[in-house]
Structure 1
Amino acid sequence: MRVLFADDDQIIREGLANLLNHQDGITVVATAENGAQALDILATQPVDVALVDVDMPVLDGIQTAQRIAKQYPKLAVVILTAFEHEESFVRSLEQNVRGFLTKDIPPDRLAEQLKRAHAGERVFGSRPTEILTSNFLATSSNAPEYLDFRRRVEALPPYLRDVFDLVIEAYPNKTIARRLKLSENTVRTYVRELFVALDFTSRNQLTITALKAGY
């Protein structure tokens, strides 16, 4: 699996790249010191996963993820951060990033998460998940708009609820089909039905709302 790692701190950039290169199945094919340089590299270097620091000059990690999503929609982007700002997490979800991990993650665990992101899963570090889940549950889940959302979810027929549970985990249709033992065409039909039932047109917005509603 080919990884591009972007971080403006040279010591972290070189050190983590070296550690990742010692993990099975991982090759850091390029490094960048900012988002603009990362985009230049992507124009010429095939990459499977972009690991991007959230705080960088020129283009920060979120801006970089936004441009990658537009130019390379199949490329998995994982944000790496010290997690100083919770709003970065929500901004990253809006840009369809596959993961949001903290810099204290062990190299072997990071390699595992990058592989999962490459396979189409969405991966979050334990600290971002704990902090944001508790924050959203405390501040958002009882708001009227989320109560209405929860009522709609609970009213879903079982076959759509199964799809909902996997969609909000960011599984692609192919994986959902395999896990539910359905054809991809059937899954696509069910996803369309799910969007109609919950009044959504975007997987990202559905995932964000589900998280805020406590799912």
Structure 2
Amino acid sequence: MNIFLRIGSFCFLYWGIMACNNNKPADSLSNKVVADTAKYYPIANFISDEMKYVDLRNFTIVEKISKGIDTSSRKISKDDFLSAASIVLQQAQWFTANKNLFIESVFQDLGTESYTINYSSSKAPIKNIDLLLNQQTNLPKRLFIRVIQQSADTTITEQFSWIANKQFVINSSKRTQQGYTESSIKEISWKNQDQ
């Protein structure tokens, strides 16, 4: 037993001396480059997939525009659809490139069997994104993007709403400090031609 005590003491003393002689700087977060590991939902992929889905099918695509009390409706081509949808895609891509400006929160809604993922920012033109995911499949059901920008004395608010496999809406309003307001709504929907 005495020999084991001596060997143990010697090993303890040896490791203590070795630890004191280590001149290597301790790793700290300040000298490491940390990769971006945030797992934000890829909303740009969702919009892109929806655009491809419509582009590859023989849907009837309808555009409805409302300005004030005037409303018009017309069938549009796939190219017109893709052009209009690309505006929403650009917002989603901007979010993806600047996700560090956003705070994420998640809410489970048992009534609609969905999760709502919210991204909010006070530092970006995109102020708020709400994404409703199906609780069973984790696939998007609805997407809402709210953009608020200031141009001179005019506040421009755009609300982009997307319902999966059905339609998207771009709601735009301009308000001046003098109280002048102008708003427009563009709704684009698609469905099978036999419906």
TM interval, short-chain normalised? under 0.3
- Bigger helix fraction: 1
Larger gyration radius, structure 1 or structure 2: 2
TM-score by length of 2: 0.27
Q: State the TM-score, normalizing by the size of structure 1.
A: 0.25
Higher relative strand content: 2
